């Protein structure tokens, strides 16, 4: 089964040709291995160069830095096909949709030339370390510090819930370069830390409810020395940089949530047409058809809204509150679809051998990461 919905206004023929190659990659390289990767709690790093060779990583990177210079629609297609395959969360979206933009937008020429080609090829895996124990979404309150010592920073602190934490070769670390300045956000900077730096340690690969194959880690920084030139952009501007890139990050989450919900719906329609109860299929009960009809309607609305948001983003018109609204609505829809589809599976839905169980567990976090949905409401509410 493949992702086939109403014609998409956000994509052209070139996009769809790219989709065909991404879909073939997912079916060949990901689907057969997803169960094993869940058991291993990590996706092997050798998958990254394979994806890079197909142009699946960081397609928006300008050609002068080894990229294809394409629009975000190509990223969205990778997100959709990855989520719809039902395969493991691969970590690609973090690199392509989030991390790379910081380097493209704010990196020095030296940083761009050093890192972007390797991110495009899959030679380098990246992570961004924002969250700390006790801070959650409150980035102004981070405690990890980067203190100047000559022409170096000395970094101390810890991070948690870091996607790609076990595989990462390069980590963009949110730090306080000034702990005294007020307001506190003016002291936040982003510093590049290479994984081989002395004093950098990876903690546990955290045991999660779902998204089992996504390596999510604790990271520790014990007197890690990096050159001052590893600062991304201007010192003290990190918080501003983080806020400016949030619409795309949240749109990326919305795209993946919508495709994941569509996959759960399609699988459920197939299941209820085969499963028998009281002498007829589960699909033959009016309640089943009404539930599915309601979900189909909401999914149809979701795809239309997603295309609207993508077209806005292509033109750099998607606002912070629109990105927040997309993340809020599509992840709420994802959860509604998952929960109702699991219910239609009956007892089978609670068994991990059925895809819906794995999808239901994996969907729970999407209303938390990228800023909780409660924070999304607060952000939207501030603009009223």
Active site residues: 249
Give per-residue burial for 354-371: e unless 16+ CB within 10 Å, then b.
Answer: bbbbbbbbbbbbbbebbb
Give CA angle at 164 (160, 168), nearest 5°: 105
**E-only strand ranges, 195-275:** 200-205, 216-227
What are the backbone angles phi and psi of residue 336, rounded to the nearest 5°?
-60, -45
Orientation angle between helical segments 72-85 and 286-314, nearest 10 degrees: 160
Residue whose structure tokens are 């990246």: 126
Which residues face 152 on adjacent strands? 149, 227
Could you tell me if residue 351 is left (phi over 0), alpha (psi between -120 and 50 degrees) or otherwise beta?
beta
DSSP strand pairing (170-176 vs 126-129): parallel
Q: Which of 307, 357, 369, 297 is nearest to 333 (CA)?
A: 297
């Amino acid at each position: 089964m493949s992702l086939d919905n109403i014609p998409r206004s956000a994509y052209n023929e070139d996009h769809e040709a790219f989709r065909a190659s991404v879909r073939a990659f997912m079916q060949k390289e990901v689907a057969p291995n997803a169960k094993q990767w869940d058991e291993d709690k990590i996706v092997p790093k050798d998958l990254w160069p394979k994806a890079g060779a197909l142009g699946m990583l960081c397609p928006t990177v300008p050609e002068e830095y080894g990229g294809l210079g394409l629009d975000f629609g190509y990223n969205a297609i990778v997100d959709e096909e990855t989520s719809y395959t039902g395969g493991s969360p691969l970590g690609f979206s973090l690199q392509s949709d989030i991390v790379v933009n910081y380097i493209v937008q704010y990196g020095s020429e030296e940083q761009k030339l050093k890192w972007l080609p390797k991110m495009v090829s899959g030679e380098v895996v990246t992570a961004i370390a924002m969250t700390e124990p006790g801070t959650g979404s409150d980035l102004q309150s981070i405690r990890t510090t980067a203190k100047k010592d000559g022409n170096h920073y000395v970094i101390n602190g810890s991070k948690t819930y870091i996607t790609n934490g076990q595989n990462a070769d390069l980590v963009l670390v949110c730090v306080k370069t000034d702990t005294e300045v007020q307001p506190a956000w003016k002291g936040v900077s982003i510093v590049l830390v290479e994984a081989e730096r002395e004093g950098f340690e990876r903690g546990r690969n955290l045991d999660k409810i779902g998204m089992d194959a996504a390596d999510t880690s604790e990271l520790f920084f014990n007197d890690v020395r990096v050159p001052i030139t590893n600062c991304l952009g201007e010192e003290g501007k990190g918080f501003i940089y983080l806020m400016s890139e949030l619409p795309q990050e949240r749109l990326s989450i919305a795209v993946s949530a919508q495709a994941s919900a569509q996959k759960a719906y399609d699988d459920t329609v197939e299941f209820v047409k085969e499963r028998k109860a009281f002498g007829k299929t589960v699909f033959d009960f009016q309640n089943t058809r009404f539930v599915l009809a309601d979900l189909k309607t909401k999914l149809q609305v979701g795809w239309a809204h997603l295309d609207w948001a993508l077209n806005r983003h292509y033109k750099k018109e998607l606002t912070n509150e629109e990105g927040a609204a997309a993340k809020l609505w599509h992840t709420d829809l994802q959860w509604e679809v998952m929960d109702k589809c699991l219910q239609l599976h009956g007892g089978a839905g609670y068994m991990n051998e059925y895809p819906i169980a794995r999808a239901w567990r994996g969907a729970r976090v999407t209303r938390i990461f990228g800023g909780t949905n409660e924070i999304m409401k607060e952000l939207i509410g501030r603009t009223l």
